[in-house]
Amino acid sequence: MSRKLGPYQTLNTILKETKKLRVERIEQLSSNSLLTYISEYIDCKASLPISIKAIFTKDQQGNWSYLMGKCFIGDDMPELEDIYLGYAFLTKTITDMCLFDFIASLEEGGIKLSENFPAIKKKKEHTNYWDEELIPGRATTYQFPVREFSRQLTESNDFSDNKLIGYKKDFYISAQEYVRQFLGMDIFHGGSDSRKGYITISTKDTRGRITVANGQTSFESKLKNCCLVGQIDNEQKIILTDGEQAEIISTASPDLELWLLSDQEQILDYYSNSDYRYKYSHVSEGDSSMLSIIERGEGNETEFKAYIEVTKNKNRKAEEIEKTVCAFSNAQGGYLIIGVSDDGCIEGVDEKVIYHYGEDLDSALNSYIKDIKKRLIEALSEPHCFDIKSSKIGLKHVIIITVVRTQKPNYHVNTRQAYIRRGATSAKMVSADTRESDRNNPQYSGSNF
């Protein structure tokens, strides 16, 4: 679990947190405190467009209930009412309500998006506190930092990662993937996601941002007495005031710790190699396509593994590699990426392969690839369905196993068990032989059940 930090901690405190840093308020905000805090950069009593994206699920009695949602302050989005079997995705923009009244409505009568669905409102038993997270400008589409405030409104409802099917509606193989896409989430963990029942308010914070371009770093700010502090490659110290810039004396992949602070020591923006979720590292053109695949998260064609030791006999974790490759090959192919955690953090395999094989990095990577390839060739009935290589993304190496769909059913030779990809899981097939006619049989066409 990531460590939470308050917004008024000094740089010295921040730089001591090197591995799993996540910039987030540790204290909880009451609704009044939240409004006071946001009013530093938004007029909470002015009528601003508030676009709400909400998801509802239907229970076995046919009743709709709120699953989760997100509000975008200042954005005017087109209305949408996308109803599927068991799921509904709604978008509505409110233009005649200020943020002060909006938050008050969540506490009292609720926000009604449609007559067909219940109002979004807080149940009495839940707390009145909001948690805040700062998303750095470099990780947003606005190129300015975004602050997100979240609170629980209802109990976390049940969620099943079924297919999305609706009359004259676009078909989606995975409800979980569409939830992530609809709300602009980097990761959604489906039934186990702790954010179910929550509402999130997302606001642009245009008070200041850091710029890193053309070998220079600088910042802009609407506030007086701001400064940029930090270090580059653990050596080059940075202290800049308004209008100043510094040359980045570094390799093509600088290790950046840059923090934009107000004179009240409030963090306005940052670049950090040590941040857990929004880790910064230079990405070359060759890395960008794979990085975009990783950023989409696990799903029907992507699986992450942090690291798996493959030389031990009867290693259940190593068998996960064979199972996943088999599942991809019986569906539509995909990528098994080793060196990435379940939540998409690029951890790399560098230190682990060096330790395990006792060789230099290049030799250890080659040995690891050779051992994985050996296991797969010996285990699978159709072993020529994959390609394996190492790739450097930023400062880390990952192992990428690219799998293609086989013409014949693929199965594990020893167990005679076949697997097929269903959403973000590799499930057992009833019989490998039935896949021969899968073009006419949707049960074995790579569909997600």
Among 5-19, 124-138, 324-338, the range of highest mean pLDDT: 324-338
CA distance linking residue 65 with residue 170, whole number of Å: 23
Q: Tens digit of pLDDT for each residue in 350-404?
A: 999 999 999 999 999 999 999 999 999 888 988 888 989 999 887 889 999 999 8
**Model-wide pTM > 0.75:** no
Q: What is the pLDDT of residues 1-43, one digit of tens each?
A: 222 333 333 334 433 333 333 344 445 678 888 888 899 889 9
**Could you tell me the pLDDT band of residue 105, with boundaries at 50, 70 and 90?**
very high
Q: For residues 112 and 406, give the distance between their C-alpha atoms in angstroms, rounded to a whole number.
A: 50
Q: DSSP label at 57?
A: E
Rounded average pLDDT over 323-342:
93
Q: Quick check: 385 and 410 in contact, CB under 8 A?
A: yes
| pLDDT greater at residue 347 or residue 5 | 347
Burial of 381 (0-12, 13-18, 19+ CB in 10 A): middle
Put residue 14 in one of left, alpha, beta given phi > 0 → left and psi -120 to 50 → alpha. Answer: alpha
CA distance 424 to 298: 6
Task: Give me the domains of the chain, ranges plus CATH numbers.
Answer: 3-204 (no CATH), 285-444 (3.30.950.30)
